[in-house]
Amino acid sequence: SSGCGKSTMAQLLERFYDSSQGRVLLDGQDIRTLNIAWLRSQIGIVSQEPSLILGLSIGENISYGCLPNTFDRTDIIDVAKRAHCHKFIELLPQNYDTLVGVNGAFFSGGQKQRIAIARALFRKPKILILDEATSALDLVEESLNAARQDDPSRTVIVVAHRLSTIQSCDLICVLGPNGRFLESGTHNELMARGDAYYRFVHDHVI
C-alpha cells in the first residue's frame, strides 16, 4: 500500500539517513560500519521521477560518475541496448552526443526512465533498486530482464504499490501501516496463505 515506508527503507539502505531505531544489515553486517562511498558504489537506484543532467550529452548522462578511462562508447551502447533506449537515441540528430535539454533534446517520462536504468546498470551495482520507477509493467519486466542478463547474481529490489509489477519477483515482502512487516514469499505462496497479500490482491485490480 502507499505511504507505508517502502521508499524510506530503500533510502535507509543507501544511507541517505540512518535509522533512529534498529539496524539495517547487508550480508549480516550493520551498514553503519561500512564505508559510505563504497556502500553507495554497490547500489544503483532508479527513482519514480528520474532526472537527466542538462547540458550533458546522452552518453555522458549514462556514464555519469564513472572515470572516462574505464570505458568506451561501445560500453555505453551495450548498456543502452539492454535498457531498451538505444533505438530512440540512434534517431536523435547526434545520437549519443546529443545534449539534454536547453537547446538540446527533451524526453518523455518513459524515455527518461530507460536512460536512468541504463545509467544505473552502467555502474555495475551489486544491488539495483527500482523505487516505484514506473507503473508500466513492460518497463518493469524489461528492467528486471536487463539486470539479470547483466549480472545474474545481482539483487534487484522493486519498490511498488501496484501488485502487477511484483508478481514475477522471487520474494515479495508485504508492508502494512507505519512500515510494519506483515509477511513474505512468492506470489503463489502468499496467495495460498490467504493473509494480507491475498486480501491486497482481491482488493485491487491486477
In the chain, where the domains are located = 6-169, 170-206
Average pLDDT over all residues of the chain: 82
pLDDT for position 139: 65
Architecture of domain 6-169: 3-Layer(aba) Sandwich (3.40)
Q: State the sign of the Cα–Cα–Cα–Cα dihedral 189, 144, 5, 15.
A: positive
Structure confidence by residue, pLDDT tens digits, 7-24: 777 788 888 888 778 888
Q: Looking at residues 54-64, what average pLDDT do you find?
A: 91
For residue 116, which of 90, 97, 93, 139 has the smallest C-alpha distance?
A: 139
Three-state DSSP class for 203? helix
pLDDT band at 193 (very low <50, low <70, confident <90, very high): very high
- Determine phi and psi for 199, rounding to 5 degrees: -70, -40
Question: What per-residue confidence (pLDDT) applies to 156?
Answer: 87
Cα 11 to Cα 174: distance, rounded to the nearest angstrom: 17
All three cell numbers of 186: 512468492
Three cell numbers, residue 79: 548498456
For the chain, the residue count is 206
What is the rounded distance in angstroms from the CA atom of residue 10 to the CA atom of residue 69? Answer: 31
The C-alpha cell that represents 138 in the structure block: 513492460
Query: How high is the pLDDT of residue 179?
Result: 75
DSSP state of 169: -
- Could you count the other beta carbons within 10 Å of the beta carbon of residue 27? 7
**Cα end-to-end distance, the chain, whole Å:** 13
Q: Is the pTM of this model over 0.85?
A: no
Note the pLDDT of residue 96.
93
pLDDT digits (tens, 9 = 90+) for 86-141: 999 999 889 999 998 865 567 888 888 889 989 999 988 899 888 765 555 566 66
Give 25's strand partners: 30
Show the CA angle centred on residue 138, arms to residues 54 and 127, nearest 5°.
65
Q: For the chain, what percent of residues have pLDDT higher than 70? A: 84
Cell numbers placing 102: 536547453
pLDDT of residue 201: 86
